[in-house]
Structure 1
Amino acid sequence: MATIKQVSELAGVSLATVSRVINNTDQVKPGTKAKVEDAMKTLGYRPNFIAQSLASNKSNTVGYVVPELHGSFFGDLLSGTERLLKQANKHLFIAAGHSNEVDEVKAIESLLSRRCDALILHLEAVSNDYLVQLAKDNVDFVVVNRFIAEISERCVTLDNVKGGYIATQALIDNGHKSIAYITGSLWKADAEDRFTGHKAALQEAGIALRPELVFEGDFQADSGYKGMSQLLNSGETITAVCCGNDEMAYGAAEAIREKGLRIPDDISLVGFDDIEFSRFLQPKLSTVKYPMRDIGETAAKMILQKIYNKDFSVKHHIFDPVMISRNSIKTL
């Protein structure tokens, strides 16, 4: 097996230069870098990252726990993180927690056992107390899409209460009063916060919350379809519906169309997240923008700054939602 010394001799450079090329830690002239890479290719040299991690006490890997691996939401969130980590020559290990406390804890323990230098955690089932204790145990991590006061400096999220508020307010501003709401699973903090914002907007406008116009879904399109079908079959007057995320809005839209109704002529529709497909629907979906890539990048910056001493400035940990008005709201 080729050694780093043989690479340096063939390339005609120092051992330190080869090391800088391998670790991408310092600026190396393009011509010199090319010589080193050619020598490595000729000799079949592959860096021993395990040995390097033992020597430096760093594995140059970051673990990421997400609820699921499907859907464009998590793809956009992960891509923001992966891009910055890749630029810094760090590697990303991904595990799914499946919104289950046992699986989430197992995923965390698995990544820690693989000597990840830090973790990014998008968790839905483990308690705040568990994460506070994890911080006390000196585990380096950042929490995504969740705010915990005791470890606020480790959290990066969206103001979901405000997001729920502006989604409903957009309908109220357009004259709607009979507004249905399809929530995500209310045991999840972001779903509960968005529903809290919805209720606040209604209360401020003097509109009573009607429980018969609320359906608890689970953030999946099927639950949006089921919820909208149930609401339409209830006989209640509905001029608009807010959904806790865009995927449920897609399902709701299908149920509305199957009833022979039109969006927004018969029922206005608002989603949440602004995932890519929302602007391609007919009509284009009005929704609250969740800055997935920005939040993913911020989580990466926090890790790179704290663990790897990279020069990143993190301006804020809590992002403000923005209402994206398209064609799915009718003015009454």
Structure 2
Amino acid sequence: MATIYEVAERAGVSLSTVSRVLNGKSSVNQALKEKVEKAVKELNYRPNSVARSLANSRTDSIGVLVPELNAPFFGDLMQAVESTFRGADKHVIITVGKNCLATEKDAVEFLISRNCDALIMHAEALSDEYLLELNNNKLPIALVNRQVEGIEDACTVLNNEKGGYLATRHLLELGHKHIAYISGPTDKADAMARLEGHKRALNEAGIAVNSQLIYNGDYQEEGGKVGLLELLARDMPFSALVCANDWMASGAISCARDLGMSLPHDLSIVGFDDVVFAHHVFPRLTTVSNPVADMAETSAKYILNKVYGQKHNVNRLFEPTLVVRESTIKHD
């Protein structure tokens, strides 16, 4: 394996010049820089990552915190972050928070102990105060799908209220007047915003919000099954159902089919997120797109700008769109 000394000898420059080129310093003459880059390529030289981190006080690694690993939604997030950083010759360390305060804090401390240059987080349980203190006193952070006052530049968010509105308005436009709703957990801001959008669409249509047609779910597939059964048991007829994410929608579809319903003729169903399986369930799921991959890429670019001095354009507010498939039908 080639050494930095051999690179310097091949390029005919000093060790300090090679070091400055490898660490991206702008003070190097362009002609010398080209000589070093040519020597690096010819010798297939790979800089020692430990030595580089000692030289510039960085590890070129970024910590990523997600609630879980087995959901397609977070798979899209991690893929976007990893590919963006890999394209910039950076690497990620991934850990899981499980939507638990103690576990999320433990995960953050682990990432700090690995000397990460920054953190990208989809954090549910950590308080705003904790996140502010972390960003201001320990290391830079970027938040996906969360807004924290005081660090707005570090946050990428979806207009969740509009997403809930689009889902219910679609059903209203199809002629549905009795629309049930399975929400996400009541302690999650995105879930409550989606529910508010649902209520706004009903109010605009002159339909009173009926609490008996709302079930508080948990964003899990089983929650969709339990939610549909509970709503049916309340004996309040409905022809359509909005679920606050695709996992619960898939659970509701499975449950409805087990009950012998013909979908979408007996029940139209709308989800939220447009994860990969949304177009594989039967009937294919009408849903609201949640561009989490784009949001995650934006968070990664924010860190590249803030920590590594790059200059990427970033968009912090994302708008959802309705994706119409076969799980909804006109109601006569």
TM surpasses 0.5: yes
- 1:231: Cα distance to partner? 1.7
- 2:273 and 2:287 in contact (8 A); partners too: yes
The reply on whether 1:222 has 2:222 as its aligned counterpart is yes
Unaligned runs of at least 5 residues, structure 1? 41-45
**Match of residue 321 from structure 1:** 320
**Match of residue 122 from structure 2:** 122
- 1:330: Cα distance to partner? 1.1
- 2:162 and 2:194 in contact (8 A); partners too: yes
- 1:178 and 1:240 in contact (8 A); partners too: yes
AA in 2 matched with 1:256: A
Counterpart-to-counterpart distance in 2, 1:158 and 1:274:
14
- 1:18 and 1:36 in contact (8 A); partners too: no
AA in 1 matched with 2:304: L
TM-score normalized by structure 2? 0.90
Counterpart-to-counterpart distance in 2, 1:32 and 1:4:
10
- 1:133: Cα distance to partner? 2.6
**Match of residue 109 from structure 1:** 109
AA in 2 matched with 1:303: I
TM-score normalized by structure 1? 0.90
Match of 2:43 among 36, 46, 71: 36
Q: Secondary structure at the match of 1:273?
A: coil
**Match of residue 184 from structure 1:** 184
**Match of residue 196 from structure 2:** 196
Q: How do 1:60-99 and structure 2 match up within 5 A?
A: 60-99=60-99
Which stretch has the larger CA shift, 23-32 or 241-250? 23-32
Deviation sequence 1:111-164 (CA, Å, 0-9, x none):
112211111111111112222232332531111111123321110011111111
**Match of residue 250 from structure 2:** 250
Change (3 A) 1:257 1:30: farther
**Match of residue 282 from structure 2:** 282
Q: Secondary structure at the match of 1:59?
A: coil
Counterpart-to-counterpart distance in 1, 2:225 and 2:149:
36
Change (3 A) 1:24 1:285: farther
Q: Secondary structure at the match of 1:180?
A: strand
Deviation sequence 1:229-262 (CA, Å, 0-9, x none):
2222332201000001001100000111111111
Instruction: Give the number of equivalent residue pairs.
Output: 323
**Match of residue 30 from structure 2:** none
AA in 2 matched with 1:267: L
Identical aligned residues as a percent: 42
- 1:8 and 1:36 in contact (8 A); partners too: no
Q: How do 1:291-330 and structure 2 match up within 5 A?
A: 291-314=291-314, 316-330=315-329
Deviation sequence 1:27-71 (CA, Å, 0-9, x none):
78997554221xx5xxxxx64322221210111111111111111
- 2:194 and 2:244 in contact (8 A); partners too: yes
- 1:23 and 1:89 in contact (8 A); partners too: no
Counterpart-to-counterpart distance in 1, 2:197 and 2:142:
25
Counterpart-to-counterpart distance in 2, 1:33 and 1:263:
62
